[in-house]
Structure 1
């Protein structure tokens, strides 16, 4: 079985001929803030390409290292301090922080979740039918730094409602979160789709409540870097995000292989005490909705992988201003073009996408 230690021993498909000079150089290991706090196959949209059978990173002089974080807030702190090179950008958390501290010079360079992957879940018999019913309720979140708090505020603000009487209760993940819902410690959970799926796997029955219309149309995941790193290491960042784009396409088109490749690179993440087939079925369930959120909507006018738009960032500012009750947010942030850039996107997309799709469909683990 391949591990990261074995990674340098092989040259994968789509890169053998041109990889030798790059492999002779010192790799630039890009450290990512992982706010999922665990490194499991939900990360295969990044990690699949680390396996030498695909080899999407090393031939171009880069590799990825995961650094687990407990929250988005901690990720921003570590990114600012230079302890990680890139990390998630959640507008509802990032924008108020940047408005408060202009020296926080982050720029979102790659949209990894072009669809909205947030969910509202309740017990099947709950009286909560719409997002408006969350007002004044006990809302379960993973922890007090979790994006679920901002998501709830955003959706309520969209409907002209306040979260002033909401109580946000940290219930963790998996079985503890399921117990909190089963035992009525919370009225609803607002989280990412993968977190809800993990709760369903431990036996808790859930009903999904629709997101608010405006919020449902925005993406839910960007990756950002400091502007200084963007200036200094553009080539490495293109290589990094092109590797992620290839891994995303591959894993979307062959999820079972993506899961297997993640385990090959990170064998310590393989589940203990049950068969691989059972574990793979569980992970396929966890990723059943997420894998679609990796891909752009068919009606998206910009089909480039990772691209952002000025319109969506203006929407992000508008929604964040409403949820944070800060009508001056847009003025404090200034030109919204500074919040994101597409300057890497054409270079990131300069690869044969159909070749990756064909590779995925024909790949045998």
Structure 2
């Protein structure tokens, strides 16, 4: 079965992919660098709004498209080359890359994950009680390009510790990762909450180690765009991120419906070996923490969807400087205001959020 991405690639081979959507639908396809490498319902905070019953994107002239990537490094290369229009911004990876290469002119425009969704997990019987205990240990990560490496570096640096004796071991996802933890091939794993929930789902018991205090207060997910695109097509970016904001609010209020909408838009992502009810139950478990991290914390002084603050980006720079062992990083980056912008945020939030919540709570596909 051809999926949406396969169809686009097929049109590209015919030399008509650039013109067809714009002419037929007057819609600009906005390609997203998807570092999860697979488009599944955990991305319903974006994809739910693509369904015609919600239609959060196309009436405003845009439509997101997932382009799978193997790592953050590949995503940055794709953003630089113009192969995608937007992608994830992991400060610990992005900021040192921008300092090293000033031509990598990206700006973070939308915070999609205000809560900190990073986790540190160990076997229940592990002697490890805190992040400080991870210095010099074997650390499991999804892949060598995964952000878990930078996350641990940042937290150890916050504690005044180094990771120079840590060994980072790629253990993958799900059952293989669980087997590596259970068989003591690694002492701990650092990964996003959805990845560690998948390990628990296959039957591997885990114990969660608290994040370090300073790091725990930071958001964990931004979306960035080339600065050139921000200048040239502000209207499309507002439409794109407003659609994401609406989809996020809808998905948080009615996760089951959002999962079903994702499957309807991307039928190739439906489970092949189990029922939809079983898969939906699993996804609810995987997203049990993530769905709340999509939303602003109640104590956040700025409740606008997607908004960032100068204080948190200064903190991101400090942590990135520590984790990359570059005390001159802030100087090399220059004014931290150039790393992010809230200039789209008021327009993105110019919709009735409670109406979206009401729609979600009464929605049936």
Q: Tell whether the structures are fold-level matches, with TM greater than 0.5.
A: yes
**SS of structure 1 residue aligned to 2:238:** helix
Residue 349 of structure 2 corresponds to: 349
Residue 156 of structure 1 corresponds to: 156
Residue 18 of structure 2 corresponds to: none
Structure 2 matches for 1:185-264, cutoff 5 A?
Answer: 185-264=185-264
**SS of structure 2 residue aligned to 1:120:** strand
> How far, CA to CA, are the matches of 2:25 and 2:269 in structure 1?
29
> How far, CA to CA, are the matches of 2:146 and 2:296 in structure 1?
25
| TM superposition shift of 1:185 | 0.7
Residue 303 of structure 1 corresponds to: 303
Q: Which portions of structure 1, spanning 4 or more consecutive aligned residues, are displaced by more than 6 angstroms? A: none
Structure 1 unaligned segments of length 5 or more: list them.
Answer: 6-21
| TM superposition shift of 1:362 | 0.4
> How far, CA to CA, are the matches of 1:151 and 1:23 in structure 2?
44
Contact 1:23-1:59 within 8 A present in 2 as well: no
TM-score, normalised by the number of residues in structure 1: 0.93
Structure 1 pair 23/294, CA: closer, same or farther in 2 (3 Å)? farther
**SS of structure 2 residue aligned to 1:73:** helix
Matched, 1:63 2:59: no
Structure 2 matches for 1:33-48, cutoff 5 A?
Answer: 33-48=33-48
| TM superposition shift of 1:363 | 0.4
Matched, 1:293 2:297: no
Aligned length: 347
Residue 15 of structure 1 corresponds to: none
> How far, CA to CA, are the matches of 1:292 and 1:209 in structure 2?
19
| TM superposition shift of 1:183 | 1.1
Matched, 1:274 2:284: no
| TM superposition shift of 1:305 | 0.1
Structure 2 matches for 1:13-24, cutoff 5 A?
Answer: none
**SS of structure 2 residue aligned to 1:64:** strand
| TM superposition shift of 1:343 | 0.4
Structure 2 unaligned segments of length 5 or more: list them.
Answer: 6-21
| TM superposition shift of 1:24 | 6.7
Structure 2 matches for 1:128-207, cutoff 5 A?
Answer: 128-207=128-207
| TM superposition shift of 1:175 | 1.1
> How far, CA to CA, are the matches of 2:327 and 2:24 in structure 1?
53
**SS of structure 2 residue aligned to 1:304:** coil
> How far, CA to CA, are the matches of 2:92 and 2:275 in structure 1?
40
**SS of structure 1 residue aligned to 2:313:** helix
Task: Note the alpha carbon deviations across 1:73-101, whole angstroms, 9 max, x for none.
Answer: 11001111000100000000000000111
> How far, CA to CA, are the matches of 1:112 and 1:23 in structure 2?
31
> How far, CA to CA, are the matches of 1:271 and 1:186 in structure 2?
30
Give the root-mean-square deviation of aligned CA atoms.
1.3
TM-score, normalised by the number of residues in structure 2: 0.93
Task: Note the alpha carbon deviations across 1:238-258, whole angstroms, 9 max, x for none.
Answer: 000000000000000000000
| TM superposition shift of 1:322 | 1.0
